Amino acid sequence: MNLAFKDVKYNFLRFLLTTAGVGFLIMASTGMVGLYRGIVGDALLVVDKIGADLWVVQGGRAGPFSESSAVSANMDRRVEGIAGVSVVRRFVQISQQFSFEGRDLRASITGLDFPKDRGEWVELQRGRYLTAGHFEAIADESIGLSLEDRVRLGQDDYLIVGLTRGMVDASGDGLMFVTVNDAMAIAKRRTSEEVLLARNAAGRTGAADASESSVPQDSKIAAVLVSLDKGANEDRVRADVLAWGDANILSRADQRDLLLNQRLWRLRLQILAFTGVLLVVMAIVISLIIYMLTMEKLHQIAMLKLIGARNSVIVAMIAQQSFLIGAGALVLGLAMSKLVFPFFPRRVVIDPWDFAGLALAVGAVCAFASLLGIWRALKVRAQEVLS
Amino acid sequence: MTAEPILSVRDATRHYRSGDSIVKALDGVSLDINAGELVAILGPSGSGKSTLLLIAGLLEPPTEGEVRIRGALVSKAGEELDRLRDFRRRNIGFVFQKANLIPFLTASENVALAMEIDDVPARDARRHAERLLAGLGLGHRIGNRPSRLSGGEQQRVAIARALANDPTLILADEPTAALDGVRGRQVIELFRQIADTRGAGIVVVTHDPRSLDLFDRTIELTDGRVVGERAGPDRLQVL
């Protein structure tokens, strides 16, 4: 006769509520760890997927993700001439806010160096890659656009030809891919006042295009992405670029390190610290629940001892109940996480290994809580049944 | 040749320290309970009745004296009694004022549990429990949890549990205190029947004078001492 199961069956509503309470705590912990994984994944998404071995960025800078970077417009052709370089692509990324059908939307405009790069490294959910050099865009679903939508960016209308899912930048803004030339045109858009001020500063008057020659423009190319030939000497390429003096060169690992350990360091630490606090709260709550459940049963435990139950019967009852609560809460926590987190605005990644770690932690907490209850139960004397 | 008593308590004393003074809950009590004998322990509150039951039931050791069950010395001063849990399970059944049934088990499960703890296979334990309950007039209640049973029915389930391992000694502490007169008498009649049919020695601590005619002997305690003993329903021997 399994006393733990019998008790759970008898007090099923209490068990369900207790399990649900612990399950919500597990869901919160899963969410915090998942948010951390999501932020890291989002931040590294472009670096990992774009397929560049090296990033040539502005000299003295560690851009374009950790700090701003602007390289000269002809930097790609200079880099292309270095021995060992296979392919170069220009990279532009700018945050843009725009209106569409009365809604204010945000996107991280990312330039694809068309026609070398049509966006094949992007995982499309629907639609197609870019086929024209201008006015086509691939947008992430999170931006709030649909296929065939026409959206005005800068001075031009762009047709949404493809949709992605879960492609966002480190801030959580959905990525919108256009050609590099279009991205630069969007970036160069200036307000009327900016144009006027620039003209006055240059001592010039007269009508001119708001995005072109009337005002001096900085390059909007943030970096040049380099793919190396097989067997190329990376150090040699690195040395050649650094010798120019106006450029810095970073590897993919450097970019990852900068993103994780510089730009996102405090955020990561904060999330991890909060996860730690949640785990401690969860441990205390589970321990308290199991202890209180044991305290409730002290009279019955005394009775069991009186009728001669061995300690193993009592230990099994408490431990099994504790692990039933833990297991039930884990299942409930995982189910609720799967159900709820997809509706959260930021990506929450439920990594199986993270969840396995959480399950181990819950197991350890249940074991500790059981020990506490068992310790109390074993102190009960059979004659207490008379009290 | 005289048969060995089921329970033999010799010169049992039990002292408790209360602040600077020592309270003598039991003061040199001796008694023998024979097989098939139903004995009542009477006395006012604080006379040592429950303490005597704890010592006889191997739940507390005496400060002095000894307890023998079927001739075997099982408890004496300073004895660690937790190790006697198996012995207690096989030889002694307990019934209390409150039935103390496990609330999440049915009547038959409450009874069967006592046997399963003693390593009786679950199916056999359940069958035996159902037979016991049917024998006590609870055949129609085997699947009910304690909350669905009346006080008298709960007490009969507790008696069935006490009988589950076929003990030679049954100790009952105020088993009728929570019952009305009719149901209280029914419980004592049940003990009478068990003593007669099973040959168990039964000791009942009680305040209730209404069913004393059913007992073989009555022992009266006051201030931790035996002050009177009445053999049979009509005779009282003042010591």
DSSP letters spanning B90-145: HHEEEEESS----TTS-HHHHHHHHHHTTT--HHHHHHHHHHHHHHTT-GGGTT--
Does any domain span residue B237? no
Find the domain containing B226 and state its range.
Answer: 7-77+86-231
What pLDDT is stored for residue B238 in this prediction?
43
Contact B116, A1 (CB under 8 A): yes
**Amino acid letter, residue B131:** R
Alpha carbons A138 and A176: distance in angstroms, whole number: 6
Contact A145, A136 (CB under 8 A): no
Q: Pick from B88, B100, B165 the residue to mutate for testing the A interface (most A CBs within 10 Å).
A: B100
What pLDDT is stored for residue A296 in this prediction?
87
What pLDDT is stored for residue A220 in this prediction?
75
Lowest mean pLDDT among A186-190, A279-283, B55-59, B70-74: A186-190
Q: Classify A140 in phi/psi space as left (phi over 0), alpha (psi -120 to 50) or beta.
A: beta
User: Does the pLDDT value for residue A251 go beyond 70?
Assistant: yes
Alpha-carbon gap: A326 to the closest alpha carbon of chain B (Å):
21
Chain B hits for A381, CB-CB cut-off 8 Å, are 59
Question: Which of B13, B226, B188, B11 lies closest to B237 in space, CA to CA?
Answer: B226
**Amino acid letter, residue A351:** D
Chain B hits for A14, CB-CB cut-off 8 Å, are none
State the pTM of this model.
0.74
Tokens for B52, please give them. 């005597």
Please tell me which residue, A89 or A187, carries the higher pLDDT value: A89
User: Does the pLDDT value for residue A148 go beyond 90?
Assistant: yes
What pLDDT is stored for residue B211 in this prediction?
82
Alpha-carbon gap: A300 to the closest alpha carbon of chain B (Å):
6
Residues facing A365 on adjacent strands: none
Q: Classify A240 in phi/psi space as left (phi over 0), alpha (psi -120 to 50) or beta.
A: alpha
Band of residue B19 on the pLDDT scale cut at 50, 70, 90: confident
| Dihedral sign computed on CA atoms, order B120, B125, B131, B133 | positive
Lowest mean pLDDT among A10-19, A189-198, A238-247, A254-263: A189-198
Alpha carbons A4 and A363: distance in angstroms, whole number: 17
**Nearest-10 crossing angle of helices A311-340, A265-296:** 140
Does any domain span residue B44? yes
Does any domain span residue B1? no
Q: Pick from B102, B105, B126, B161 the residue to mutate for testing the A interface (most A CBs within 10 Å).
A: B102
Backbone angles phi, psi at B140, to 5 degrees: -90, 0
Residues facing A185 on adjacent strands: none
Q: Is B60 on the interface with A (CB under 8 A)?
A: yes
User: Does the pLDDT value for residue A332 go beyond 90?
Assistant: yes
Rounded to the nearest integer, the mean pLDDT of chain B is 85
Q: Find tokens 């059908």 and name the residue.
A: A101
Lowest mean pLDDT among A142-146, A228-232, B85-89, B168-172: B85-89
Q: What is the mean pLDDT of residues A238-261?
A: 91
Tell me the CA end-to-end span of chain A in Å, nearest whole number. Answer: 27
User: Does the pLDDT value for residue A281 go beyond 70?
Assistant: yes
Tokens for A266, please give them. 């405090």
Alpha carbons A27 and B106: distance in angstroms, whole number: 36
Rounded to the nearest integer, the mean pLDDT of chain A is 87
Share of chain A above pLDDT 90, in %: 37
Contact A10 B145 (CB under 8 A): yes
What pLDDT is stored for residue A135 in this prediction?
93
DSSP summary character for residue B88: H
What pLDDT is stored for residue A236 in this prediction?
92
What pLDDT is stored for residue A214 in this prediction?
43
Band of residue A298 on the pLDDT scale cut at 50, 70, 90: confident
User: Does the pLDDT value for residue A178 go beyond 90?
Assistant: yes
Which residues, numbered 28 to 57 in chain B, qualify as contacts with chain A under a Cβ-Cβ cut-off of 8 Å? Answer: 50, 54
Q: Find tokens 């009508």 and name the residue.
A: A207
What pLDDT is stored for residue B90 in this prediction?
85
Cβ count near B55 (within 10 Å): 26
Alpha-carbon gap: B211 to the closest alpha carbon of chain A (Å):
23
Alpha carbons B49 and B223: distance in angstroms, whole number: 10
Alpha-carbon gap: A312 to the closest alpha carbon of chain B (Å):
10
Chain B hits for A385, CB-CB cut-off 8 Å, are 96, 100
Residues facing A57 on adjacent strands: A223, A248
Strand order in the sheet with B72-76: B21-33, B7-18, B64-69, B72-76
Best-predicted range by mean pLDDT among A169-173, A293-297, A332-336, B209-213?
A332-336
Tell me the pLDDT tens digit for each residue of B128-170.
Answer: 899 888 877 888 888 999 999 988 888 889 888 888 888 899 9
What pLDDT is stored for residue A334 in this prediction?
94
Torsion angle in degrees (nearest 10) through CA of A320, A324, A326, A327: 120
CB hemisphere CA count around A326 (13 angstroms): 24
Torsion angle in degrees (nearest 10) through CA of A284, A288, A290, A292: 180
Does any domain span residue B236? no
DSSP summary character for residue B23: E
Backbone angles phi, psi at B108, to 5 degrees: -70, -35
Contact A1 B109 (CB under 8 A): yes
Contact B100 A6 (CB under 8 A): no
Backbone angles phi, psi at B130, to 5 degrees: -65, -35
Backbone angles phi, psi at B165, to 5 degrees: -95, 20
Tell me the pLDDT tens digit for each residue of A192-220.
Answer: 776 777 777 766 554 444 444 443 445 67
Tell me the pLDDT tens digit for each residue of A53-98.
Answer: 999 999 888 878 888 888 888 889 999 999 999 999 999 998 889 9
Number of domains in chain B: 1
Q: What is the mean pLDDT of residues A239-245?
A: 90
Contact A221, A92 (CB under 8 A): yes
Please tell me which residue, A335 or A208, carries the higher pLDDT value: A335
Contact B59 A306 (CB under 8 A): yes
Tokens for A224, please give them. 């040049």
Q: Secondary structure of chain A in the HEC alphabet? A: CCHHHHHHHHCHHHHHHHHHHHHHHHHHHHHHHHHHHHHHHHHHHHHHHCCCCEEEEECCCCCCCCCCCCCCCCHHHHHHCCCCEEEEEEECEEEEEEEECCEEEEEEEEEECCCCCCCCCCCEEEECCCCCCCCEEEEEHHHCCCCCCEEEECCEEEEEEEEECCCECCCCCEEEEEEHHHHHHHHHCCCHHHHHHHHHHHCCCCCCCCCCCCCCCCCCCCEEEEEECCCCCHHHHHHHHHHHCCEEEEEHHHHHHHHHHHHCHHHHHHHHHHHHHHHHHHHHHHHHHHHHHHHHCHHHHHHHHHCCCCHHHHHHHHHHHHHHHHHHHHHHHHHHHHHHHHHCCCCCCCCHHHHHHHHHHHHHHHHHHHHHHHHHHHHCCHHHHHC
- Those residues whose C-beta lies under 8 Å from the C-beta of residue B101, and which sit 6 or more positions away, are B107, B110, B146, B154, B157, B158, B161
Tokens for B111, please give them. 């009874």
Residue B44 sits in a domain whose CATH number is: 3.40.50.300
Alpha carbons A350 and A338: distance in angstroms, whole number: 8
Residues facing B24 on adjacent strands: B15
What pLDDT is stored for residue B208 in this prediction?
76
Does any domain span residue B35? yes
CA angle A304, A306, A307 (to 5 degrees): 70
Does any domain span residue B239? no
What pLDDT is stored for residue B233 in this prediction?
57
Q: Classify A40 in phi/psi space as left (phi over 0), alpha (psi -120 to 50) or beta.
A: alpha
Contact A226, A42 (CB under 8 A): no
Does any domain span residue B114? yes
